[in-house]
């Protein structure tokens, strides 16, 4: 259903799978180094240190996500036998030399009183160099009679030029968004989460001769879950763009974007009302924390987005690392649409397959301008029923304008092209219209009016920069 939300919400907060290095002495998986997305290679012998390498600017392992002469890597220690219960007498003890503790800023050991088996990552900062010099991190572990130890030799190397990519990042702004779903008006005027992000690869253009780019979904991305609450029915949406051969267009001068997307959408019907989607305990966007519920309860997360949910415990700090519980899945389906800074429309009566009615206006018409009314869900009012100006509607019926129209806004990039510098734009608005099929939860279908249309407006900030592909 609100596949589009994530679509627009686009925020693609992707999570690289963590690389874990086993102990070299003792039972290997009793204790491990978690080195994020860095490349880890075993030593020449089973008891020799592992080599851990990150390239400057590699988004899989360099927290800077930029070529700046060095790497900032997050590295943690994990208790491989932890079961998440608070049993301090049976917890694994770790001993770290002073040099390792000093290298890992902000580091904390695993706690027997946390659900997750890993401690808080420390940040190690290294200069990029082809020299063989390394930073060695060590620990010793003990639990009862089971002892072990491990070493990793960590390096930061210059990037491989062949891995350079030009990336367009689309990040949702804090206000001015609007998501409308279905024919009843109950699921109109939702606000879209601030901070959601979609990354696109742009090719065929350059800094001097050609400003017209091709745009593609070039990496696997999972969007931040989206909480929707109306009439006491909590829904948590999880979406990801499906990588296809679809090619969009992007202009380095005007900032105009048109990107065809197919979104896999998973609809979870949640309970209770104060926990529509799992939260991440970090205090702000970009902060680390743990998931408070869902499939990864108690495990590590990074806050990707935030949104205010009326009718619930309102403030949600969300993370792609914190998906909802799988048993609450009501339906998974694709949504096909185009995100654009131009016009997008669905025209004609009942424009979506299987749609039963145009609106919930009854004897009235979907012709009332209610744009001056502030909606309670945080979105934007547009058109309402003539006989009930508190009921939003899509004006597709024969006695109304007959079209759902949403209009985006391109903003020129700065510094102006041609330039070799990273470019950005603030205030861009993306628009999309789409069709939402029925779900397997009749209460949601009746409440939202599905199958039916959907539309979104999403203010975003754009940035174009060169990154190192994972």
Q: What is the pLDDT of residue 16?
A: 39
Q: In 3D, which of 372, 55, 126, 411 has the Cα closest to residue 255?
A: 411
- Lowest-confidence region among 175-184, 302-311, 422-431: 302-311
Q: How confident is the model at residue 132 (pLDDT cuts 50, 70, 90)?
A: confident
Q: How confident is the model at residue 33 (pLDDT cuts 50, 70, 90)?
A: very high
Backbone angles phi, psi at 333, to 5 degrees: -155, 160
- Lowest-confidence region among 208-217, 265-274, 378-387: 265-274
Q: How confident is the model at residue 3 (pLDDT cuts 50, 70, 90)?
A: very low
Q: Span 276-281, mean pLDDT?
A: 93
Q: How confident is the model at residue 17 (pLDDT cuts 50, 70, 90)?
A: low
Q: Is residue 113 predicted with pLDDT exceeding 60?
A: no
Residues contacting 145, CB < 8 A, separation 6+:
none
Mean pLDDT of the chain: 88
Q: Which residue has the tokens 């309970």?
A: 271
Q: What is the pLDDT of residue 115?
A: 44
Q: Is residue 271 predicted with pLDDT exceeding 80?
A: no
Query: Which pTM does this prediction carry?
Result: 0.76
DSSP letters spanning 280-318: B--SSTT-EEEBSSSTTTTSEEE--EEEE-TTSS-EEEE
With contact defined as beta carbons under 8 Å apart, do 20 and 430 qualify?
no
Q: Is residue 8 predicted with pLDDT exceeding 70?
A: no
Long-range contacts of 293-299 (CB under 8 A, 24+ apart): 293/322, 293/325, 294/322, 294/323, 294/324, 294/325, 295/323, 295/324, 295/325, 295/326, 296/321, 296/322, 296/323, 297/115, 298/84, 298/114, 298/115, 298/116, 299/115, 299/116
Give the pair of three-digit tokens for residue 320. Answer: 């792609």
With contact defined as beta carbons under 8 Å apart, do 240 and 196 qualify?
no
Residues 213-261: tens digit of each pLDDT: 999 998 888 889 999 998 888 999 998 998 778 999 999 999 999 999 9
Q: Is residue 142 predicted with pLDDT exceeding 70?
A: yes
**Bridge pairing between strands 39-41 and 50-55:** antiparallel
More confident residue, 52 or 10: 52
Instruction: Answer whether the bond into residue 433 is a cis peptide, omega within 30°.
Output: no
Residues 328-364: tens digit of each pLDDT: 888 888 889 999 999 999 999 999 999 999 999 999 9
Between CA 82 and CA 69 the distance in angstroms is 38
Q: What is the pLDDT of residue 193?
A: 87
- Lowest-confidence region among 56-60, 182-186, 189-193: 56-60
Q: What is the pLDDT of residue 9?
A: 31
Give the pair of three-digit tokens for residue 81. Answer: 């036998």
């Amino acid at each position: 259903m609100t596949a589009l939300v994530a679509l627009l919400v686009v925020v693609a907060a992707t999570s690289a799978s963590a690389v874990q290095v086993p102990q070299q002495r003792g039972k290997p998986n009793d204790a491990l180094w978690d080195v994020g997305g860095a490349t880890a290679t075993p030593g020449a012998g089973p008891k020799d240190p592992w080599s851990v390498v990150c390239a400057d600017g590699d988004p899989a392992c360099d927290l800077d996500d930029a070529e700046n002469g060095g790497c900032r890597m997050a590295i943690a220690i994990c208790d491989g036998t932890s079961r998440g219960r608070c049993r301090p007498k049976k917890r694994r003890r770790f001993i770290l030399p002073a040099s390792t503790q000093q290298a890992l800023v902000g580091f904390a050991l695993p706690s027997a009183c946390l659900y997750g088996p890993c401690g808080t990552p420390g940040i190690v900062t290294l200069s990029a160099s082809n020299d063989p010099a390394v930073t060695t991190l060590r620990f010793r572990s003990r639990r009862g009679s089971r002892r072990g130890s491990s070493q990793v030799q960590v390096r930061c190397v210059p990037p491989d030029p062949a891995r350079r990519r030009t990336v367009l990042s689309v990040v949702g702004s804090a206000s001015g968004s609007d998501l409308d779903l279905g024919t009843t008006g109950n699921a109109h005027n939702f606000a879209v989460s601030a901070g959601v992000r979609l990354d696109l690869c742009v090719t065929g253009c350059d800094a001097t001769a050609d400003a017209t780019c091709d745009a593609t979904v070039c990496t696997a991305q999972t969007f931040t879950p989206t909480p929707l609450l109306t009439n006491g029915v909590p829904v948590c949406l999880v979406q990801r763009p499906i990588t296809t051969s679809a090619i969009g267009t992007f202009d380095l001068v005007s900032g105009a974007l048109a990107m065809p997307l197919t979104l896999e959408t998973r609809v979870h019907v949640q309970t209770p009302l104060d926990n529509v989607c799992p939260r991440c305990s970090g205090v702000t966007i970009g902060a680390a924390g743990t998931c408070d519920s869902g499939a990864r309860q108690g495990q590590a997360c990074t806050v990707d987005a935030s949104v205010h949910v009326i009718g619930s415990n309102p403030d949600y700090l969300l993370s792609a690392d914190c998906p909802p519980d799988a048993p609450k899945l009501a339906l998974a389906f694709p949504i096909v649409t185009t995100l654009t800074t131009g016009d997008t429309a669905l025209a004609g009566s009942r424009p979506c397959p299987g749609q039963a009615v145009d609106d919930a206006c009854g004897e009235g018409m979907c012709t009332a301008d209610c744009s001056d009314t502030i909606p309670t869900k945080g979105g934007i009012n547009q058109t309402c029923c003539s006989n009930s100006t508190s009921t939003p509607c899509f004006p597709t019926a024969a006695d109304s304008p007959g079209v759902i129209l949403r209009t985006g806004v391109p903003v020129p990039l700065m510094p102006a092209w041609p330039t070799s510098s990273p470019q950005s734009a603030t205030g861009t608005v993306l628009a999309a219209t789409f069709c939402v099929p029925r779900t397997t939860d009749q209460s949601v279908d009746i409440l939202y009016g599905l199958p039916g249309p959907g539309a979104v407006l999403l203010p975003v900030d754009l940035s174009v920069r060169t990154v190192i592909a994972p």
